[in-house]
């Protein structure tokens, strides 16, 4: 039974984000009944936000279906989705170009956002994300090896995602091993290790670009900018298995992630096997990032921006944050891709746009909201 | 002590006098010291990148490069019969394997080649409109229409000829980014094609193609004609199944025909000219007339090269792209070999001034669309 003083304490794990301060009023908690009411309110609001994000994803999915260089009305798009349209070109555009492209956006956005969240919690570092820790560069090198020399050819059509996954895993393990000390993972060392390993793999990608012929070179260059232009059903099929497998592992370990985020020592006391959790999370992140990088190339900042936006909105509870990052990541990526393909005279690589928008946004967030993010 | 100071002062004054004298001599020298690659005393030329691929324009590059390095042709009175009787030349550079075959019903079987799927045969009727991604195909059409009207290519006359303008605007309905033609000085396109009616698909390469934009362009092109529309692109660059699906999907959905080419030898120019010409409805007289004209001009260059290089070790040539690296394309290698050069420096690597001074290429080739200054290209600061 919680005592009155404990309930009034400032350090309540329930404080934060949308639920902090005046909105719900943790300061008014006096009895156990108050705490239950507070929890129910949090739960209701969490469910509402989650429902809104799912609704948002559905709405933006259909909105993105309407937007493109081939003009189609809402009625026509619905007709094409239901198979009642007699316009073969429109049907092709909707069912073979736009739908798989948007699904790829959702898969990649979800994978990168959830991976960013996991890395930030696991390494207790707000700067951690697949691109900042060099994981994307590692994946880029693996995939470039496959593209340039057919390395990993025994994997057949899974050659590129397979190599991207393998190098994600190698990079993440290397960064983690370099940053680990007997006292745990040191944040600064982790970032520096990530920067160093990322630079190393970027150097190797540059070396590959230097030695390959012009055709392979333009493939690698275009691919390292990140784009959904070549994403069809085949790409979606390639990515969906590793991405879903990675996300499932993350979702099944939400409780452990919450405990680790609160402190490794407490997590160990609560029975969390930290070593096993790290291996699981590194595997999950490698699967998710490898799968996404393999179809879309390197798209930076998604794993950094999306988790921070939602952490500011709903606080640090992974039970809510993780699904929000999955749905929100999808929404963010669809938005970015729709702008990249439709807002300019030519179709821009989406990775260029996320970097252009992501970097200043992140600086803004870091300068104005850093206290809210991690308090 | 005083004596030592005096000696030091004398030495210092002597050093200053020598330095001043040296500076005076250098600054007043009639011939300034050569720097960077100018030390090679090599022949330098800038060539048009678009004329170095498997298009009829490759003959312009061959002639220009020959003239820059060797000077005038040895004989200008050679005939096609002379060319045919030179078995080495004819079999190596002129005997092509056709990629198009005519059917009794008036359609053609075209061998479409991509790196992703290899060679496929497609049945294509005569087309009157094309969406073109790449300059090779539009340049071939330009040569064909100029041949038909007896006009010199790249001449002001050809740019102001209304028949040629009408043909190019109607036939080349759209394709690669229009700004590319202006940016890279593709004069025949920017002079002849009206930007307002051109259907721009916003890319310059099949790898970055947005399938939806291509589909929209094909629909618009089909709406402009009662005939057939064909999509031309580079098969060499279609290297993954994603690229293949992206490029063929819109064609299948819109009922457009497509033909992809992967030439890597000079004689494949003739296969491309034959295929594009017949497919776009040109008469055999025009198509084979153009082919024979190129073959004869090529033979004149070839004959002269053989005469000039007889009993001589082939000199090295160095061909650099705007990235600062040696080019390594198959066509560049073939062109240098045709012109009697050692092409061992065309390895795709970056060559610094030191290695080039050691290798001593006698011929330096750059592209006209290279954004660097001539000083930068010639490493003048090294």
Give the pLDDT confidence of A226-240 residue by residue, as tens digits.
Answer: 889 888 898 899 889
Is the confidence at residue A12, as pLDDT, over 70? no
pLDDT per residue over A269-323, tens digit each? Answer: 888 888 888 888 888 998 899 889 888 888 988 988 899 888 887 888 888 899 9
> For position B149, what pLDDT does the model report?
95
Chain A residues with beta carbon closer than 8 angstroms to that of B252: 92
DSSP one-letter code for B51? G
What pLDDT is attached to residue A371? 58
**Residue B33, pLDDT above cutoff 90:** no
How many C-alpha atoms does B96 have within 13 Å on its Cβ side? 22
Contact list in B for residue A210 (CB cut-off 8 A) is: 325, 349-350
Q: What residue spans of chain B are helical by DSSP H?
A: 2-27, 58-69, 80-85, 87-89, 135-149, 156-160, 162-171, 178-183, 187-192, 211-223, 241-254, 267-279, 284-309, 330-338, 353-359, 374-377
In the 8-state DSSP scheme, what is residue B36? Answer: G
Out of A70, A96, A210, name the one closest to residue B249 (CB).
A96
**pLDDT for B265-278, tens place per residue?**
888 889 999 999 99
B105: pLDDT strictly greater than 90: yes
Inter-chain residue contact A210 with B203, CB threshold 8 Å: no
Nearest partner of B54 among B285, B258, B322, B271, judged by Cα: B271
What would the pLDDT profile of B199-228 be if each residue is shown by its tens digit? 999 888 888 888 999 999 999 999 999 999
Proportion of chain B above pLDDT 70, given as a percent: 97
Q: Which residues of A touch B237 (CB under 8 A)?
A: 215, 218
3-state secondary structure string across A8-26: HCCCCCCCCHHHCCCCCCH
pLDDT band at A155 (very low <50, low <70, confident <90, very high): confident
For chain A, what are the domain ranges? 39-374
- Whether residues A68 and B212 touch (CB distance < 8 A) is answered with yes
User: What is the gyration radius of the CA atoms in chain B, in angstroms?
Assistant: 26
The Cα–Cα gap between A216 and A247 comes to 32
* pLDDT, average across residues A254-283: 85
The closest of A308, A295, A292, A291 to A369, measured between CA atoms, is A308
Tokens of A9: 């304490």
CATH topology of domain A39-374: ABC transporter involved in vitamin B12 uptake, BtuC (1.10.3470)
The arithmetic mean of pLDDT across residues B159-171, rounded, is 95
Interatomic CA distance for residues A105 and A61, integer angstroms: 10
Distance from CA of A105 to the nearest CA of B (A): 15
> What residues of B are in contact with residue A93 (Cβ under 8 Å)?
212, 215, 253
ipTM topping 0.95: no
- Candidate from A153-157, A287-291, A331-335 with smallest mean pLDDT: A153-157
- pLDDT at site B192: 93
Instruction: Tell me what pLDDT residue B26 has.
Output: 63
Q: Say which residue, A6 or A302, is predicted with more confidence.
A: A302
Interface test with chain B among A340, A346, A348, A351, by most B beta carbons within 10 Å? A346
Average pLDDT value for chain B: 90
Q: Cβ neighbours of residue A251 under 8 Å, at least 6 residues apart?
A: A322, A323
Judge whether residue A26 has pLDDT over 60.
no
CA distance B116 to chain A (A): 12
Beta strand B100-102 pairing with B108-114: antiparallel
Look at residues A134, A128, A98 and name the one whose alpha carbon lies nearest to residue A113: A128
Select the residue of A69, A229, A231 nearest B216 (Cβ to Cβ).
A69
- Could you tell me if A230 and B247 are in contact, meaning their C-beta atoms sit under 8 angstroms apart? no
Contact A68 B207 (CB under 8 A): no
**Phi, psi dihedral angles at B109 (to 5 degrees):** -100, 120
Cβ contact A219:A149 at 8 Å: no
Q: With H, G, I as helix, E, B as strand and everything else as coil, classify residue B125.
A: coil
Rounded average pLDDT over B55-75: 93
Average pLDDT of the segment spanning A344-361: 83
């Amino acid at each position: 039974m919680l005592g009155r003083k404990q309930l009034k304490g400032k350090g309540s794990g329930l404080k934060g984000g949308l639920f902090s301060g005046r909105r719900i009023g943790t300061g008014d908690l006096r009895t156990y009944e108050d705490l239950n009411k507070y929890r129910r309110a949090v739960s209701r609001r969490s469910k509402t936000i989650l429902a809104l994000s799912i609704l948002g994803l559905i709405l933006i999915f259909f909105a993105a279906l309407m937007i493109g260089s081939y003009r189609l009305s809402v009625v026509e798009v619905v007709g094409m989705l239901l198979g009642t349209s007699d316009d073969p070109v429109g049907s092709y555009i909707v069912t073979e170009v736009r739908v798989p492209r948007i699904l790829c956006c959702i898969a990649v956005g979800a994978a990168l956002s959830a991976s960013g969240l996991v890395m930030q919690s696991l390494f207790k570092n707000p700067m951690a994300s697949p691109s900042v820790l060099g994981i994307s560069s590692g994946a880029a090198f693996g995939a470039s090896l496959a593209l340039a020399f057919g390395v990993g050819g025994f994997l057949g059509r899974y050659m590129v995602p397979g190599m991207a996954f393998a190098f994600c895993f190698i990079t993440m393990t290397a960064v983690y091993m370099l940053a680990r000390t007997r006292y745990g993972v040191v944040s600064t060392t982790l970032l520096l290790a990530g920067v160093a390993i990322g630079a190393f793999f970027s150097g190797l990608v540059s070396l590959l670009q230097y030695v390959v012929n012009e055709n392979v070179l333009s493939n690698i260059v275009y691919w390292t900018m990140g784009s959904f232009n070549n994403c069809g059903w085949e790409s979606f099929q390639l990515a969906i298995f590793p991405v879903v497998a990675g996300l499932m592992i993350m979702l099944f370990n939400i409780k452990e992630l919450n405990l680790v985020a609160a402190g490794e020592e407490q997590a160990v006391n609560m029975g969390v096997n930290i070593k096993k959790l790290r291996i699981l999370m590194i595997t999950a992140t490698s699967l998710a990032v490898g799968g996404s990088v393999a179809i879309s190339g390197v798209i930076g900042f998604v794993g950094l921006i999306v988790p921070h936006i939602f952490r500011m909105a709903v606080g640090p509870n992974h039970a809510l944050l993780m699904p929000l990052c999955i749905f929100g990541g999808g929404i963010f990526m669809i938005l970015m891709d729709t702008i990249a393909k439709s807002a300019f005279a030519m179709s821009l690589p989406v990775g260029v746009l996320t970097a252009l928008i992501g970097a200043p946004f992140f600086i803004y967030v870091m300068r104005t909201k850093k206290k809210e993010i991690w308090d | 002590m005083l004596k030592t100071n005096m000696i030091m002062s004398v030495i210092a004054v002597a050093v200053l006098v020598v330095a001043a004298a040296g500076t005076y001599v250098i600054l007043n020298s009639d011939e300034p010291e050569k720097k960077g690659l100018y030390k090679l005393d090599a022949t330098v030329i800038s060539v048009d990148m678009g004329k170095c691929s498997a298009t009829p324009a490759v003959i312009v590059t061959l002639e220009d490069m020959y003239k820059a390095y060797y000077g005038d042709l040895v004989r200008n009175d050679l005939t096609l019969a002379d060319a045919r009787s030179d078995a080495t030349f004819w079999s190596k550079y002129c005997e092509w394997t056709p990629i198009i075959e005519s059917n009794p019903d008036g359609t053609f079987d075209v061998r479409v080649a991509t790196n992703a799927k290899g060679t496929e045969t497609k049945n294509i009727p005569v087309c009157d409109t094309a969406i073109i991604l790449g300059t090779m195909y539009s340049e071939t059409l330009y040569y064909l229409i100029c041949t038909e009207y007896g006009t010199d290519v790249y001449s002001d006359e050809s740019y102001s000829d209304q028949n040629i303008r009408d043909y190019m605007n109607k036939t080349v309905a759209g394709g690669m980014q229009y700004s590319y033609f202006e940016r890279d000085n593709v004069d025949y396109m920017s002079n002849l094609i009206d930007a307002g009616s051109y259907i721009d698909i916003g890319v310059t390469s099949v790898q970055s193609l947005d399938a939806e934009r291509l589909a929209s362009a094909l629909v618009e092109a089909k709406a402009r004609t009662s005939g057939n529309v064909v999509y031309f692109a580079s098969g060499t660059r279609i290297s993954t199944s994603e690229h293949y699906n992206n490029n063929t999907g819109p064609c299948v959905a819109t009922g457009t025909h497509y033909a992809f080419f992967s030439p890597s030898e000079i004689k494949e120019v003739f296969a491309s000219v034959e295929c594009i010409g017949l497919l776009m409805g040109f008469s055999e007289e025009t198509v084979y007339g153009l082919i024979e004209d190129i073959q004869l001009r090529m033979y004149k260059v070839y004959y002269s090269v053989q005469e000039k290089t007889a009993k001589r070790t082939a000199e090295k040539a160095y061909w650099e792209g705007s990235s600062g690296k040696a080019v390594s394309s198959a066509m560049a290698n073939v062109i240098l070999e045709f012109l009697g050069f050692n092409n061992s420096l065309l390895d795709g690597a970056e060559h610094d001034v030191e290695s080039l001074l050691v290798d001593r290429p006698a011929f330096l080739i750059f592209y006209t669309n290279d954004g660097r200054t001539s000083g930068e290209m010639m490493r003048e600061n090294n």
